[in-house]
Amino acid sequence: MKHEITPKTEFAVLGGGCFWCLEAIYRRLPGILSVSSGYAGGVRSHPSYEEVCTGTTGHAEVIRLEFNSLQVSYHEILELFWRVHDPTTRNQQGADIGTQYRSIILYHNKEQRRIAESSKKTAQPLFRDPIVTEIAPLENFYPAEPHHQQFYEKHPNQNYNQVVIRPKLQRLKQEGILPREA
C-alpha cells in the first residue's frame, strides 16, 4: 500500500527591498505553494502602499510565503534570502531607499527565530560589511493592493522588471538555484 505524502504547510515572511522582486524569485522556487506581497513590521493597521511609502507607518514591503516544508525547508528559504538582496545596507536595496525597503525576517514561532538567527550568523562571512537584517516576531501581515500581486507576471515589459528583476532571475537560473524553466 502506497502512502501519500501530504504537504506540511508552513509560512515565512521576509522583506528584502521591493516586494515585487522577492515575490518573482520565490514564486519560482520548488515547494512554494503561494506568495503574497504585503506590509508588516509597522504600527498602522491595514496600511496602503502610499502610507507605507511615507516611511511613517514603520512597515516594510514584505512577502508572505506559504510553503510545503517536505519540499523546501525554512532554512533553505533563508539561504536563498541572503543571496537575492544585500542584507548589509540599512533601509535600502539598490535605488530603492526608505525604511519600507529594509531587510527583515519576521518569524512565526521560536523555532523560526532560532533558524533565522543561526542562518544570519552562517551568512555573515559571505559579506564584507555587517548584516543589518532585523529579526522580529510577526505581529500582522497586511496584503498589498491587488495591482501589486504577481507584478512581474502581469507586467513583464515594465522597466523595473526588465532592469532589476529579470537579470536577477536569469542569474539565479544560471547558478542552478532556480529551475531553468521557471
CATH number of the domain bearing residue 32:
3.30.1060.10
**Is 129 within a domain?**
yes
pLDDT tens-digit readout, 9-54 = 999 999 999 999 999 999 999 999 999 999 999 999 999 999 999 9
**Is 1 within a domain?**
no
What single-letter DSSP state applies at residue 155? -
AA letter at 76: E
Quick one: pLDDT band at residue 180, thresholds 50, 70, 90? confident
Average pLDDT in the chain: 94
**Is 182 within a domain?**
no
What single-letter DSSP state applies at residue 106? E
Residue 5 has pLDDT above 60, yes or no: no
Q: Who has greater pLDDT, 1 or 50?
A: 50
| Angle CA 95–97–103, to nearest 5 | 105
**Is 126 within a domain?**
yes
**Is 83 within a domain?**
yes
State whether the Cα torsion 166-126-94-61 is positive or negative: positive
Cα separation, 132 vs 35, whole angstroms: 24
AA letter at 22: L
pLDDT tens-digit readout, 134-171 = 999 999 999 999 999 999 999 999 999 999 999 999 99
Residue (of 59, 54, 83, 65) closest to 177 by Cα position: 83
Contacts of 98 (CB under 8 A, 6+ apart): 53, 55, 91, 92
pTM: 0.93
Cα separation, 27 vs 34, whole angstroms: 7
Residue among 18, 35, 105, 116 flagged as catalytic: 18
Cα separation, 9 vs 65, whole angstroms: 10
Segments forming the whole domain that contains residue 80: 9-174
Cα separation, 80 vs 24, whole angstroms: 13
In the predicted model, what is the mean pLDDT of residues 125-132? Answer: 97
Q: What is the pLDDT of residue 131?
A: 98
Tell me, yes or no, if 53 is annotated catalytic. Answer: no
**Is 4 within a domain?**
no
**Is 2 within a domain?**
no
Q: What is the pLDDT of residue 44?
A: 93
Domain count, the chain: 1
